Structure 1
């Protein structure tokens, strides 16, 4: 079977304008697919290489997302076999909290960029120097 015939249970769509890093978008989409029942325990995620080619992004970005998902216990990686959805249940409250945090951060980064803050170092310095009145 050629790889072009393999149909994934999840179609990853990345939004460069969202302000959310691509690896976070991948994590969110896997979490949402698990919550919606589109991905179930034992389902195999696309390989890092194939997903990087499909999304036209660096394979390290995919690896970072998969590593984070593994740290959260949502996937298990079997060397030589692939990355699979685990049987761990997602804490919906934690998923919602994470989604809200990332939405706020996306807005914050877009606003900072509009104000001329272009790099992380400047942003970190501004946050460290910030004093709430």
Structure 2
């Protein structure tokens, strides 16, 4: 099913984030075969060249690996996957903190808000 993409960010970067998130959440596990570029492009509603660029970028990061004649697979390098997980966490935290600062919240207000949120979530 075609996706809605943000207009201010290249589609291949959004696809990289989506695929990386699926890997981190365990929806795609180490060693799993990914759909072909053409299949995934149809599924996402994008040009195959965009999907190819997504796979190539993830391969250059060591997140996926291309096996000639077999396709593209999630890496089985667990250290690399843990590094990806940590990197994404840091990027999301950095973005969140930046947004909170722009809204005028102090570090204490932000931390108190997070604490309160997690306490409510644990109770629910």
| Interval containing the TM-score (normalised by the shorter chain) | 0.5 to 0.7
Preserved CA contact (<8 Å) 2:36 2:71: yes
Instruction: Give the 3 Å change call, closer, same or farther, for CA 68–81 of structure 1 in structure 2.
Output: same
Q: Which runs of 5+ in 1 are unaligned?
A: 1-11, 104-133
In structure 1, the residue matched to 2:86 is 93
Is 2:36 the counterpart of 1:44?
no
Q: Specify which structure has the higher proportion of helix.
A: 2
**1:14–1:25: 8 Å Cα contact kept in structure 2?**
no
C-alpha root-mean-square deviation of aligned residues, in Å?
2.5
Give, in whole Å, the separation in 2 of the partners of 1:102 and 1:70.
Answer: 25
For the pair 1:17 / 2:10, whether they are aligned, the reply is no
Provide the TM-score with structure 2 as the length reference.
Answer: 0.62
Deviation at residue 27 of structure 1 after TM alignment: 0.8
Among candidates 68, 71, 85, match of residue 82 of structure 1: 71
Superposition deviation, residue 58 in structure 1: 1.1
- 1:44 deviates by 0.9
Shift of 1:97: 4.0
Asked if the contact 2:2–2:43 (Cα under 8 Å) also holds between the matched residues in 1, the reply is no
Alpha-carbon offset, residue 38 of structure 1 = 1.2
Change (3 A) 1:18 1:44: same
The gaps in structure 2 that reach 5 residues or longer are: 97-124
- Please state how far the C-alpha of 1:25 moved relative to its aligned partner: 1.4
1:67-122, CA deviations, whole angstroms, 9 ceiling, x for partnerless residues?
Answer: 0110111111112211000023232331234457889xxxxxxxxxxxxxxxxxxx
Distance 1:22 1:48 in 2: 15
